Structure 1
Amino acid sequence: MKRERLNAYRIMWVFVSFDLPTYTAEERKNAARFRKELIKDGFRMFQYSSYVRHCPSSDNAAVHVRRVKAILPEEGNIMIMTITDKQFSMIECFSSAPVHHEDCEYSTLSLFDGIDD
């Protein structure tokens, strides 16, 4: 059995971006259901109406793409994009809003928390 090494070219990210109608109560319900199903499948919000999921391989990414296709609402626009971890690492993010680190979902370890100067 050949063992594949994990690297930035084999690890994948699946992006799902959507623009769903929300004019009626039924449309809002369908949009919320779609979003909740994405979260249940392990997707995390990247931006508003844009969710991302880390996958250890392209085969695993294909599984999640199929799952998204199985829950597509009847109306709206949905885009699914799969990229490598290397491509994901080259994304540049810009924001005019100040960053509030306490709100970040992905936190980093701080070696000096609690040490008073």
Structure 2
Amino acid sequence: MWVFVFFDLPTETKRERSVANKFRKKLMADGFTMFQFSIYLRCCPSIENAKVHVERTKKNLPSNGYVGILTVTDKQFGNMELFFGKRATAVENPPQQLEMF
């Protein structure tokens, strides 16, 4: 599973920039990586684990601004087409999951 967090937060005042920065840092502390400037993503081994990170993100929502959270499967993520300019680029492979026996 992949969890995407999209956000558009106000950054006009020093206080607003601080709130936006704290939200971004909390996402990174929870294992999210920047996909684009206001889009962060995280790979999760299961839907249950994805729900934990979605709930954690909801608890950290700032009081102002727009935030969207989207959960997709590995297959859906793999169907994404990425471009840099007009050149297609490779989609990131999911991290290898360790198995315990």
TM-score range, shorter chain: 0.7 to 0.9
Query: How many pairs does the alignment contain?
Result: 90
Q: Over residues 68-95 of structure 1, what are the superposed CA-to-partner deviations in whole Å (9 max), with x where a residue is unaligned?
A: 0000000000000000000000100112
CA distance change for structure 1 residues 86 and 37 in 2, over 3 Å: closer, same or farther?
same
Structure 1's consecutive aligned runs of 4 or more residues displaced over 6 angstroms after TM superposition are none
Pair 1:14 & 2:3 matched: yes
1:17 is paired with a residue whose SS is strand
Structure number, greater radius of gyration: 1
Pair 1:66 & 2:55 matched: yes
Pair 1:57 & 2:46 matched: yes
Pair 1:41 & 2:30 matched: yes
In the alignment, structure 1 segments of 5+ residues that lack a partner are 1-11, 99-105, 107-117
Q: Which letter does structure 1 place at the counterpart of 2:46?
A: S
Other-structure match for 1:79: 68
* RMSD, aligned α-carbons: 1.9
Q: Which residue of the other structure, out of 6, 16, 19, is the alignment partner of 1:27?
A: 16
Alpha-carbon separation, structure 1, partners of 2:85 and 2:37: 16
1:73 is paired with a residue whose SS is coil
Larger strand proportion of the pair? 2
1:39 is paired with a residue whose SS is helix
Q: TM-score, normalised by structure 1?
A: 0.73
In the alignment, structure 2 segments of 5+ residues that lack a partner are 88-92, 94-101
- Structural mapping, 1:88-99, within 5 Å: 88-96=77-85
Alpha-carbon separation, structure 2, partners of 1:97 and 1:40: 33
Alpha-carbon separation, structure 1, partners of 2:13 and 2:39: 22
Identical pairs, percent: 56
